[in-house]
Structure 1
Amino acid sequence: MRYLLGIDISKSSFHAAFLDTAGSDGPQHGEFPNDAAGFQQLSEWLERLSSSGSATGSPVTVHACMEATGRYYEALACFLHQAGHRVSVVNPTCIAHYARSKLLRNKTDKIDAATIADFARTQNPRAWTPPSPQLKQLQALTHQLDALKKMKTQETNRLKAAPPDKNVQKVIREHLHFLEQQNQTLIQQLDSLAKDAPFQRQVQLLTSIPGIGKLTAYRLIAEGITRFDSSRQLAAYAGLSPRHHESGTSVKRKEALSKVGNARLRAALYWPAISAKRWNPALAAFVERLESKHKPNKLITAAVMRKLLCLAFAVLKADKPFDPAYQPH
């Protein structure tokens, strides 16, 4: 007998659907605040429900499943994990397509929670492991660095548009100066964090690959690329696997990137791929082979991004620096 918990989470609250696979009744529903008090209420609610259905009368472990919704899920997921429950955090797209396959006509928080519980029952998603405090700090710093980069680009574009008012131009320049100061502060904090084990060794391994600098290394480590079993899985997670669209004899579209995956990884690898096409001897030969086949430039860049990601995965898994004599297939 399995006990399942589907959770539809938002900023201020979350809906929970408790499902007993041995029972004939539908799920039990509850709504709780998304804070420490709400987590305790959920724990007490689970104890009542699970003990009433348990032969021994003692609380049992549940399999809790929730969507990766921004950062709203993290505190609750950690709470349930620390309480000894199995926790799965899944891509919201998976739940959306699952609900569509069930031909659901309505959408409410209550229905979504029940759908997530049923998804856990039928699909048995893999268990989630919370990141270490150091990795969470690295993620926060790299994500903020990316946010600053976007803001700098926006302000630079505004300045290039030449606002007619000089006061506005002055404000934009001051803001750009402030953003650059913040950017340097974040980089210093990242450099300091990277001196600690195991980040120091991982950065050394990643930067041994021509085309990957320290900031790219920080971003790759922050996205947890070593948690996968194979480079193929990692490439799919990053949305760098090819997408085929064929049907019968008449429909056959050109291959394209799936782009169903982690956009941060793709963004982190774009400019390193541009650099590697020129400065990484092994990948330069790979690029020449693709160019000789008259492949589009965008496809070549995407292929180099995937190769870089696979190389990064390989050096981290093998704990060995990049071999310049390596020749990709």
Structure 2
Amino acid sequence: MNSIICGVDVSKDWLDAHIRPGAAFARFANDAAGLGELLVFCRSHRIELAVMEATGGYERLAFLWLWEKGLPCGIVNPRSVRRFAEAMGTFEKTDRIDAAVIAHYASIKQIVPTVPPSAAQQRLKALVSRLSQVSGDITVNKQRKSATTDAETLASLSTVLACLKREEKRLAGEVASLIDDDPLWAKLDKTFRFFKGLADRTVARLLAEVPEIGIVSNKAIAKLVGLSPFANDSGKREGPRNIRGGRAGPRGILFIIARHVARYDPHLQAFAERLQKAGKTKMVIRMALARKLLVILNAKARDARIEFANAT
């Protein structure tokens, strides 16, 4: 257990830091100078772990920079921290209070450092994210084009679409090259394509957003992606099992493609038919198929990683 922890509440402009045990507090700008001051503050208190919430990207700079300087960092779920605060009777919410709550939460939960992604992993995730954004923009502009008859507007939309399609093609090529250039990713890519209907973008999405695939257990990967149903029982009542949390991006793509893959895979198709005959709803079947596909991919990725390690 880490005895000295720094809870860092991250916002766009500020880094609020609280040391636990104790009550040392300081605020720093969320920029290069502020990060340097935060590092000095942490080292002066001999902290063993800095912990911050996942805040949609604002925490990335501090997280990677502190790791680079040799200070281990952990990332925690903001919803869990908020519920912990309320459970402890802390309903007030300020940046200073939040920093103290993060440190307290990390201490109680015995949070361990979150290993930072490699430079290649960061680039792959950024490229895949941007490719998804551009593809979304193409869909939006196609819808706009179909909804208008004005010649000038149509010409403008056609120009924008042409530009977006060129960028989509370029980004897709960058992603494919990045995967091909990495021997392990290339092997996993080939392994995943065992399933007919599993396209290149789906594989890239999994490699970018679920780097743990093939490393953790089947139960852990399902929970990580948010496809593990939670028990909801009390006494004699057996409530419905629902899913929540996890990584929305990979979960969403698995929902979409699992049914498609099942059309070509007899085992998945038989699994879906058994659920249908058991009277399960369409949504339950979709969730179960997505989880089944993820678990199979995780097992195949584990075998591929072992084979790759033995070959090198």
TM-score (norm 2): 0.90
Asked whether the equivalents of residues 7 and 102 of structure 2 are also in contact (C-alpha less than 8 Å), the reply is yes
Q: Which moved more, 1:66-75 or 1:220-229?
A: 220-229
- 2:167 paired with 1:167: no
Q: Which moved more, 1:116-125 or 1:294-303?
A: 294-303
Residue aligning to 2:133: 147
For 1:81, the aligned partner's letter is W
SS of the residue corresponding to residue 28 of structure 2 reads strand
For 1:118, the aligned partner's letter is H
Residue aligning to 2:170: 185
Deviation at 1:194, TM superposition (A): 1.2
- 2:40 paired with 1:41: no
Deviation at 1:61, TM superposition (A): 4.3
Deviation at 1:126, TM superposition (A): 2.6
Asked whether the equivalents of residues 231 and 310 of structure 1 are also in contact (C-alpha less than 8 Å), the reply is yes
1:31 to 27, 32, 37: 27
Asked whether the equivalents of residues 64 and 86 of structure 1 are also in contact (C-alpha less than 8 Å), the reply is yes
Q: Which moved more, 1:6-15 or 1:291-300?
A: 291-300
Residue aligning to 1:198: 184
Deviation at 1:4, TM superposition (A): 0.8
Deviation at 1:228, TM superposition (A): 5.1
1:242 to 203, 222, 229: 229
Q: State the alpha-carbon separation in 1 of the partners of residues 204 and 75 from structure 2.
A: 23
Deviation at 1:227, TM superposition (A): 7.2
Asked whether the equivalents of residues 258 and 286 of structure 2 are also in contact (C-alpha less than 8 Å), the reply is yes
Asked whether the equivalents of residues 141 and 157 of structure 2 are also in contact (C-alpha less than 8 Å), the reply is yes
- 2:202 paired with 1:216: yes
Asked whether the equivalents of residues 138 and 222 of structure 1 are also in contact (C-alpha less than 8 Å), the reply is yes
SS of the residue corresponding to residue 180 of structure 2 reads coil
Asked whether the equivalents of residues 15 and 113 of structure 1 are also in contact (C-alpha less than 8 Å), the reply is yes
Residue aligning to 2:310: none
SS of the residue corresponding to residue 113 of structure 2 reads coil
SS of the residue corresponding to residue 308 of structure 1 reads helix
Deviation at 1:291, TM superposition (A): 1.7
Deviation at 1:108, TM superposition (A): 0.5
Q: State the alpha-carbon separation in 1 of the partners of residues 225 and 135 from structure 2.
A: 21
- 2:25 paired with 1:3: no
Deviation at 1:209, TM superposition (A): 2.6
For 2:222, the aligned partner's letter is A
Asked whether the equivalents of residues 68 and 90 of structure 1 are also in contact (C-alpha less than 8 Å), the reply is yes
SS of the residue corresponding to residue 198 of structure 1 reads helix
1:84 to 34, 54, 70: 70
Q: 1:120 to 1:285 in 2, by over 3 A?
A: same
Asked whether the equivalents of residues 32 and 39 of structure 1 are also in contact (C-alpha less than 8 Å), the reply is yes
Deviation at 1:85, TM superposition (A): 2.5
CA displacement, residues 298-321 of structure 1 (integer Å, 9 cap, x when unaligned): 221221111111111111111179
Q: Which moved more, 1:105-114 or 1:28-37?
A: 28-37
Unaligned runs of 5+ in 2: 307-312
Deviation at 1:181, TM superposition (A): 1.4
Asked whether the equivalents of residues 215 and 302 of structure 2 are also in contact (C-alpha less than 8 Å), the reply is no
Asked whether the equivalents of residues 205 and 320 of structure 1 are also in contact (C-alpha less than 8 Å), the reply is no
Q: State the alpha-carbon separation in 1 of the partners of residues 175 and 43 from structure 2.
A: 42
For 2:194, the aligned partner's letter is S
Alignment of 1:29-108 (within 5 A): 29-48=25-44, 50=45, 60-108=46-94
Q: State the alpha-carbon separation in 2 of the partners of residues 320 and 19 from structure 1.
A: 40
Deviation at 1:119, TM superposition (A): 0.7
Q: State the alpha-carbon separation in 2 of the partners of residues 80 and 277 from structure 1.
A: 45
- 2:245 paired with 1:260: yes
Identity of aligned residues (%): 29
Q: State the alpha-carbon separation in 2 of the partners of residues 234 and 122 from structure 1.
A: 24
Residue aligning to 1:309: 294
TM-score (norm 1): 0.86
Q: State the alpha-carbon separation in 2 of the partners of residues 304 and 105 from structure 1.
A: 40
- Count of matched residue positions in the alignment of Structure 1 and Structure 2: 303
Q: 1:307 to 1:85 in 2, by over 3 A?
A: same
Q: State the alpha-carbon separation in 2 of the partners of residues 137 and 33 from structure 1.
A: 26
CA displacement, residues 26-60 of structure 1 (integer Å, 9 cap, x when unaligned): 42111111122111111222233x2xxxxxxxxx3
Asked whether the equivalents of residues 16 and 30 of structure 1 are also in contact (C-alpha less than 8 Å), the reply is yes
Unaligned runs of 5+ in 1: 21-25, 51-59, 322-329
Q: State the alpha-carbon separation in 2 of the partners of residues 83 and 283 from structure 1.
A: 47
Q: State the alpha-carbon separation in 1 of the partners of residues 163 and 287 from structure 2.
A: 34
Q: State the alpha-carbon separation in 1 of the partners of residues 107 and 19 from structure 2.
A: 11
SS of the residue corresponding to residue 225 of structure 1 reads coil
User: Greater helix share, 1 or 2?
Assistant: 2
